[in-house]
């Protein structure tokens, strides 16, 4: 009968534990839970500090170990906004117009990319509804490409952004930063589906 040494079991446990989501920052994990998202980190990337900036806040970032390629994650749960909206609708007076948080994702993405891109109007490409449902379990999604402002991106020259929206749940954004376009061909596929709704 094969006997497994206790040292081997301990080593295996340490290796497996190092890949658990418990190693993520607490605030990011809390947002994943509130937004009903799963997170799959891309291989070959390490956590990097958040860069404070006036363009777009984000909660977590990973950078390639050997290339100038970084992914930044922003999660915006809709729970608080939906509660506020329900209260506004309940106390609605004649002439009041209340916008549902479920109808803001397109405008929010446009404004976000304009902030990141230094005010330039982006060309937004919406994902196919069937594809975004299948790949992200989302109700809507879109992508765009821009030249990011220095305050947000530092020395990165390019930014590809995607957003996904799930009705009554959350909006999420991923920013893929690089100093050359070739990195998108080699590294994007492994990072593209990092966030997915449950």
Mean pLDDT for the stretch of residues 118-129: 92
**Average pLDDT of every residue of the chain:** 88
- Is pLDDT above 50 for 7? no
Q: What is the DSSP string of 129-176?
A: HHHHHHHH--SEEEEEEE---HHHHTT--EEEEEEEEETTTEEEEEEE
Q: Which two tokens stand for residue 14?
A: 């340490």
CA distance 36 to 5: 39
Q: What is the pLDDT of residue 92?
A: 79
Residue 19 pLDDT level (bands cut at 50, 70, 90): very low
| 3-state secondary structure at position 89 | helix
Q: What is the pLDDT of residue 12?
A: 39
Residue 22 pLDDT level (bands cut at 50, 70, 90): low
Q: Left if phi > 0, otherwise alpha if psi is -120 to 50, otherwise beta: which for 121? A: beta
Model pTM?
0.85
Domain boundaries 24-92+99-197, corresponding CATH code: 3.40.1000
Mean pLDDT for the stretch of residues 79-87: 81
- Is pLDDT above 60 for 20? no
């Amino acid at each position: 009968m094969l006997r497994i040494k206790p040292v081997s079991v301990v080593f295996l446990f340490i290796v497996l534990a190092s890949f658990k989501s418990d190693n993520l920052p607490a605030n990011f994990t809390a947002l994943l839970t509130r937004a009903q998202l799963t997170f799959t980190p891309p291989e070959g990337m390490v956590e990097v500090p958040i860069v404070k900036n006036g363009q777009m806040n984000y909660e977590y970032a990973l950078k390639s170990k050997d290339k100038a390629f970084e992914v930044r994650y922003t999660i915006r749960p809709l729970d608080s906004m939906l509660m506020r909206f329900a209260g506004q609708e309940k106390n609605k007076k004649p002439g009041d117009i209340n916008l549902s948080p479920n109808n803001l994702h397109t405008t929010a993405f446009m404004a976000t990319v304009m902030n990141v891109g230094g005010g330039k109007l982006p060309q937004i490409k919406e994902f196919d509804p069937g594809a975004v449902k299948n790949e992200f379990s989302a109700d809507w999604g879109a992508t765009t490409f821009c030249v990011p402002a220095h305050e947000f991106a530092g020395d990165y020259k390019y930014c590809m952004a995607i957003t996904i929206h799930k009705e009554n749940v959350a909006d999420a954004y991923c920013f893929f930063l690089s100093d050359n376009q070739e990195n998108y061909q080699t590294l994007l596929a492994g990072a593209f589906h990092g966030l997915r709704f449950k």
